[in-house]
């Protein structure tokens, strides 16, 4: 709805009604030295026409390259119908329903979202979303520590987990005296071996975090890892890409027993790459752990007339109960993005999601094979991969990426900042949006970029 500011007459009448001489008198308990004395660096207001012209000028400075970057944010196609429906007022203006039962439409949508996430992950219970994938993983770690409260708060983290996720884990868990142990990975395969875990099997570990696919795009040996965790009474946490789950085994079916918790980033499900966000997280678990589930859980019930209704079944967040008893203290729920994801999954259905995943897999393999026809370009790891792969270049990655950018291509993500031993390597991704012509353009541009480096 539009915002209409108060007029001077409105302010005068309100102040007169409450008996205050001016607005400053309403804040007289604030010491004068703490009151801000204006905004000298903020320019004066401008009219609408000038503002739109300025915004257009800023927008034209953007350069949208052909995107082959993945690394946690993926350039997928979103059907037009998704955003046409999502932009309806019922979805667009709705937020977290604090008086939830009055928001039956919102609750039904969240219930459907939970059902779809439960089906994708192969676990019986999913919540009504989290802030983003990285914080969802941190919440999963906290949940594992609560479940394993009789153990030392130690968590094994695969070294192949996204480095930003590992940073988030450290930020959230370090102040809660939870020890994070990063496991080494096989330098040939790009995977976390079970033998890396065995060195800690006698240390009363609380949880093991398993990415699938991992940061390098490789497919971890999830059956062996999850079974090892179960055998040693360790909570297993899967951090997964939802697109991959359309064709890969769901976490609830890993190994003989499945994982205890699954979570991840929902951005691939219809959310565009909008200059870094916003994103949303998804989260699912076993039924026996539901009391430790962070966030909110929507349930289906019957009203007095026997009609189906929806309600907040579980809501142990800080605004509902005492902070110390809350299962989660990150209250933001990305409700609008959950609506988008629900519409996206509904419109594509299982077959559409599987086709998207298959196209991503095929396109990335086509890209990697074509790149390796250029002398000096080689695949770093030998393990199977989904829709990302790490390749080594014959010259510094930063120089190659700059040269590719000049040709209008966002060519990949350099990883040596996070993994110093992986010199001159880039992570590349080709989603279903990349055509054969796009891949051909990429390879031609890479050939020119490498050739130019050789002549410097």
Q: What is the pLDDT along the chain (456 residues), one digit of tens a residue?
A: 456 788 899 999 999 999 999 988 998 899 988 888 788 888 888 999 999 999 999 988 888 899 999 999 999 999 999 999 988 877 776 555 555 666 788 888 999 999 999 999 999 999 988 989 999 999 999 999 999 998 889 999 999 999 999 999 999 998 888 999 999 999 999 999 999 999 998 889 999 999 999 999 999 999 999 999 999 999 999 999 999 999 999 999 999 999 999 999 999 999 998 877 789 999 999 999 998 998 888 999 998 999 999 888 887 655 555 566 777 766 665 788 999 999 999 999 999 999 999 999 999 999 999 999 999 999 999 999 999 999 999 999 999 999 999 999 999 999 999 999 999 999 999 999 999 999 999 999 999 999 988 765
What sections of 5-152 are H helices per DSSP? Answer: 8-18, 48-60, 80-86, 89-92, 104-121, 133-147
Q: What is the pLDDT of residue 162?
A: 98
* Contact between residue 211 and residue 384 where contact means Cβ atoms under 8 Å apart: no
Q: Which pLDDT score, from 0 to 100, does residue 320 have?
A: 59
- pLDDT for 317 equals 56
User: Which tokens belong to 133?
Assistant: 């994938």
Residue ranges and CATH numbers for the domains of the chain are 66-75+349-454 (3.90.1150.10), 80-345 (3.40.640.10)
Give the phi and the psi of residue 95 in degrees, each rounded to 5: -130, -160
Residue 255 to residue 236: CA distance in whole angstroms: 11
CA distance between the termini of the chain = 58
Question: Quick check: 72 and 162 in contact, CB under 8 A?
Answer: yes
Structure tokens at 445: 């541009």
CA distance 133 to 138: 9
What region does 73 belong to: left with phi over 0, alpha with psi -120 to 50, or beta? beta
Cα-to-chain-centroid distance, residue 149? 28
CA distance 50 to 58: 12
Cα separation values, 171 from 139, 178, 215, Å = 12, 11, 19
Closest CA to 261 of 292, 232, 231: 292
| Nearest-angstrom CA–CA distance, 176 and 142 | 9
Q: What is the pLDDT of residue 3?
A: 61
- Assigned token pair, 334: 């990305």
Return the SS3 of 113: helix
Q: Kindly state the tokens that stand for 243.
A: 């697109």
- Is residue 402 within 8 A of residue 395, CB to CB? The reply is no
Q: What is the pLDDT of residue 375?
A: 94
CA separation for the pair 182, 166 (Å, rounded): 9
Model confidence, pTM: 0.87
pLDDT of residue 326: 72
Q: Say what the pLDDT of residue 433 is.
A: 97
How big is the CA angle at 92 (ends 307 and 110), to the nearest 5 degrees?
40
pLDDT at 100: 60
Q: What is the 3-state secondary structure (H, E, C) of 220-277?
A: CCHHHHHHHHHHCCCEEEEEECCCHHHCCCCHHHCCCCCCCEEEEECCCCCCCCCCCC
Q: Is 374 helix (H, G, I), strand (E, B) or coil?
A: coil
Query: H or E element: which one contains 337?
Result: helix 335-371
Q: Quick check: 339 and 86 in contact, CB under 8 A?
A: yes
Taking only the tens place, the pLDDT of each residue in 304-323 is 999 999 888 887 655 555 56
């Amino acid at each position: 709805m539009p915002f209409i500011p108060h007029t001077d007459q409105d302010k005068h009448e309100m102040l007169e009604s409450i008996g205050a001489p001016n607005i400053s008198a309403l804040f007289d308990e604030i010491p004068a030295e703490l009151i801000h004395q204006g905004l000298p660096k903020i320019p004066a207001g401008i009219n609408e026409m000038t503002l739109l012209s300025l915004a257009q000028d800023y927008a034209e400075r953007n350069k949208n390259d052909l995107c082959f970057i993945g690394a946690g944010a993926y350039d997928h196609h979103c059907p037009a119908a998704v955003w046409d429906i999502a932009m309806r007022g019922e979805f667009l203006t709705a937020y977290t329903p604090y008086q939830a039962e009055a928001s039956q439409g919102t609750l039904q949508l969240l219930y459907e979202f939970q059902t779809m996430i439960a089906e994708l992950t192969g676990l019986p219970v999913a919540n009504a979303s989290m802030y983003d994938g990285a914080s969802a993983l941190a919440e999963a770690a906290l949940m594992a520590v609560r479940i394993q409260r009789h153990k030392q708060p130690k968590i094994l983290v695969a070294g192949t987990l996204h480095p930003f996720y590992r940073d988030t884990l450290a930020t959230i868990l370090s102040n809660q005296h939870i020890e994070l142990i990063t496991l080494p990975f096989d330098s040939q395969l790009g995977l976390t071996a079970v033998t890396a875990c065995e060195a800690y099997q006698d240390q009363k570990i609380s949880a093991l975090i398993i990415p699938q696919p991992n940061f390098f795009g490789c497919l971890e040996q999830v059956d062996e890892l999850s079974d090892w965790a179960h055998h040693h009474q360790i909570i297993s946490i899967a951090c997964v890409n939802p697109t991959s789950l359309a064709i890969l085994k769901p976490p609830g079916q890993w190994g003989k027993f499945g994982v205890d918790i699954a979570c991840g980033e929902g951005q691939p499900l219809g959310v565009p790459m909008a200059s870094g966000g916003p994103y949303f997280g998804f989260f699912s678990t076993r039924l026996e752990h539901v009391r430790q589930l962070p966030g909110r859980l929507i349930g289906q019930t019957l009203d007095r007339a026997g009609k189906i209704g929806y309600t907040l079944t579980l809501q142990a967040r800080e605004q509902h109960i005492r902070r110390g008893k809350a299962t989660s203290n990150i209250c933001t729920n990305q409700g609008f993005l959950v609506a988008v994801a629900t519409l996206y999954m509904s419109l594509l259905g299982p077959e559409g999601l599987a086709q998207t995943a298959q196209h991503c897999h095929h396109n990335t393999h086509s890209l990697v094979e074509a790149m390796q026809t250029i002398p000096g370009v080689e695949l770093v790891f030998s393990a199977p991969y989904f829709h990302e792969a790490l390749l080594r270049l014959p010259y510094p990655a930063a120089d190659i990426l700059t040269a590719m950018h000049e040709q209008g291509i966002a060519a990949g993500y350099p990883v040596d900042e996070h993994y110093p031993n992986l010199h001159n390597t880039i992570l590349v991704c080709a989603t279903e949006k990349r055509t054969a012509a796009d891949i051909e353009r990429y390879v031609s541009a890479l050939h020119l970029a490498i050739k130019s480096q050789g002549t410097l």
